[in-house]
Chains A and B, each alone.
Chain A
């Protein structure tokens, strides 16, 4: 499996709470508890953190350890600044 930068994974997780178009549902807040495989490398002199979904939900002796993460996602107000 190719390593995915943590930002990409987080973006996909945030996107995942968006309800299907036309469903009439609006998610205003979501809390996600997600296991992540975390790795790091140095790219152009800077430390880059990788983080992605685990290879398997089973524990094994040859896969990297799984770290837990918790995210809180909120609906952004139209005039909000996103921070």
Chain B
């Protein structure tokens, strides 16, 4: 609401919805202790407002004041809907999880022009780009092509780090208590893959061998692979991960992390992660019977050459 008492239509609807939710919640609480209770099923409002347009081109309502004639009448109807109806009529959670246009580096003016063509976040921009092309989006929304391309590239789904979870050692037989050690035991940590194992930028799926894939060296018996990145979950869910064309299980998935289950008969080969935007991040998986760790870890207290106090 601005100084003149006007408000955006969406703000008004959001506020009314919040008030109606409060009514329903209060009635629901009353139902716990009372044999009969009521629910508010529908509400219609005939609102006398003055419709205005602000400097940004947004429609605002202002309720009429005393002795102010000529107000428009807006009829608003609110009704209760079921959960399936909500799911049918709203964008998916994965779409709303996508970065907003502001995070994509677009200016307020560019955001407003994109919102007019129904684009409120990067996922929607990607979808429109896939179906209509960036040139068409640029023409309809009057936003320069390079700005749109930059926003899309900046927010591409990507994998930034891969960490194998080392296999658990076999249980040892019980030993008599040893003399108290003066050096603390090393904490169990997952090694971070070396720079050489970082993924290349996602590339389109192409038949035939893919060269220069980053190499992941895993210890034999590794059960889990942790992938970190951004926008890892798309509208169709988490990415598909394949090892030598064999799909692998996903035990945990979030927008910024993915835990991939490695098979018992783990073998080296091509590990491919199909990201939500259709690109594929490829790695060359090789097995190592040693400690599986050949990278540089600056936090390693047990690294050779370092004195322990």
Residues of A within 8 A of B (CB): 5-7, 10-11, 14, 17-18, 26-27, 36, 38-42, 46-49, 60-65, 67-76, 80-83
A83 x B82 contact (CB < 8 A): yes
Q: B47 touches which one: A38, A48, A60, A72 (CB < 8 A)?
A: A38
Nearest CB of chain A from residue B149's CB, rounded to whole Å: 34
- List 11 A-B pairs, Cβ < 8 Å: A7-B22, A7-B23, A17-B38, A40-B12, A47-B14, A47-B15, A68-B45, A69-B44, A71-B43, A75-B38, A82-B27
B41 contacts chain A at the CB level, 8 A cutoff: yes
Specify the main secondary structure of chain B where it touches its partner. mixed
The chain A residue with its CB closest to the CB of B82 is A83
Nearest CB of chain A from residue B243's CB, rounded to whole Å: 45
The 8 lowest CB-CB distance pairs between A and B, nearest first, are A61-B67, A7-B22, A7-B19, A72-B42, A68-B46, A70-B44, A47-B15, A6-B19
The chain B residue with its CB closest to the CB of A80 is B39
A11 x B5 contact (CB < 8 A): no
A10 x B23 contact (CB < 8 A): yes
B16 contacts chain A at the CB level, 8 A cutoff: yes
| Residues of chain A lying within 8 A (CB to CB) of residue B24 | 82-83
| Residues of chain A lying within 8 A (CB to CB) of residue B5 | 40
Contacts of B17-43 to chain A: CB distance below 8 A:
18-20, 22-24, 26-28, 31, 36-43
CA distance A5 to B15 in the complex (A): 11
Nearest CB of chain A from residue B214's CB, rounded to whole Å: 46
CA distance A54 to B81 in the complex (A): 30
B48 x A14 contact (CB < 8 A): no
A82 x B28 contact (CB < 8 A): yes
Residues of B within 8 A of A (CB): 1, 5, 7, 11-12, 14-16, 18-20, 22-24, 26-28, 31, 36-48, 63-68, 71, 80-82
A73 x B41 contact (CB < 8 A): yes
| Residues of chain A lying within 8 A (CB to CB) of residue B16 | 6, 49
B48 x A76 contact (CB < 8 A): no
B15 x A40 contact (CB < 8 A): yes
Q: A67 touches which one: B7, B18, B38, B47 (CB < 8 A)?
A: B47
Known: A40-B15, A72-B42. 17 other contacts (CB 8 A): A6-B16, A7-B20, A11-B23, A11-B26, A14-B38, A18-B38, A38-B45, A42-B1, A47-B1, A47-B12, A47-B15, A62-B66, A68-B45, A73-B40, A80-B39, A82-B31, A83-B81
| Residues of chain A lying within 8 A (CB to CB) of residue B22 | 7
Nearest CB of chain B from residue A68's CB, rounded to whole Å: 4
B48 x A10 contact (CB < 8 A): no
CA distance A28 to B37 in the complex (A): 10
User: B16, B23, B27, B82 — which one has the most chain A CB atoms within 10 A of its CB?
Assistant: B23
User: A11, A36, A48, A61 — which one has the most chain B CB atoms within 10 A of its CB?
Assistant: A11
